[in-house]
Amino acid sequence: MNCFFVSCEIAENPDLVGKKVAVGANRFDHKGIITAASYEARRYGVRSAMSVVEALRKCPDLIIIEPNMSMYSEYSRQFFEYFLKITPLVEPASIDEGYLDITDVCEPEKAVSLAEKIQRELLNTLKLPCSIGIAPNKFLAKMASDMKKPLGITILRKREIAEKLWPLPVSNMIGVGKKTLEMLDALGIKTIGELANYPNFSLLKEMLGETNATSLVYHANGGGSNEVDTNHFNDVTSISNSQTFDNEEYSVEKMKLVMKILINTMCNRMEKQNIKAFNYRLQLKYNTFKVTSKSVTLPNPTSDSRRVYKLLESIFDDFYDKSYPLRLIGVAASRVIESKDEVKQMSIFDSLDEEQKSYEIDHLIRDINKEIGVNLLKKGVKMDNEHTNNKNFEKFSKSWRDDIKKETNHIEKIKNFENVD
């Protein structure tokens, strides 16, 4: 899909058509990042994974909309359902990308007509623009889909790679990130064709590593898998969220921030649906098409985003391969149950762990504040004697108590006023 998150927002609010729009954290959140940008915003240099601060510096009148992953997931579900009406051989690559094997449903000469029909019907029914690549394997199909945006259709046959693929800058190639690009540049490799035909493969392996060098040269020469993996569809009892990166490379800190946003939106969806999950999975897809997927199963189900983040962060730290740039981060929850059906498996001490206690306390505080209409209750922090004996702490404590007293009196006045006939 073209600018998928932004396109979903525009589909819901047509007044945004033609405007500089981005989906990302609140514009006042200086640590937030942009997850998607419209083509109008991209003309000003706004890109995904860019900080909100930098995006606003480049485009001061940028309209920033906070992510609505439940809405995006619903649009994704609908267009993948549409794909399955065309062929059962569908492989989701991410929330907004997929591969369709149309070998058995369409004659080769009718492939463009089918692509035009798909574009037309998705635009008419869901208001979603998409670009389509037609090729003999998944790598070439993906490269072709990126050649014309928005609403492009590109055929890329193997006999055409010298004409259409090789002249492209090597930076356009899937699998080439910032560090790899620097090494290729040092070797004098500027285009995909120069990579495909590089005469000193031994030097290439020495610079890039054997696995990376082999994969890049193979794909630069038009190679790639043509097998569509239908098992990539998530189980109906799971909820997932993912973010695809462009060809740039990002710091571990930034990737963890993306992961935290993905987990928060996933867990928010679960809370709205009153469900929890026993199993959580982290998927890392690299630009070499290598995929790592690890999961953890809990004794008690949860939808606490902080707890889930700690679990998946640990998996990330253990299994993230710094040798290659990431193409995609995905998180998923499975073995879900309704919260009302939860039966906690207690320990031999018959007590909840600290994170579960924290989760229950947070919800209690939120419910009480919602009931009284004011954020009066706050979560406290346990402090040692060294801090509590400090005079500054005594002043702070007194000030805090005074504020609470004032707020309580204010609430009582409001209640008394409301009770007057």
Catalytic machinery residues: 97
Taking the CB of residue 257, how many other CB atoms lie within 10 A of it?
Answer: 18
Taking the C-alpha atoms of residue 44 and residue 22, their distance in angstroms, rounded to an integer, is 12
Burial class of residue 356 in the structure, from the number of CB atoms within 10 Å of its CB (0-12 exposed, 13-18 middle, 19+ buried): middle
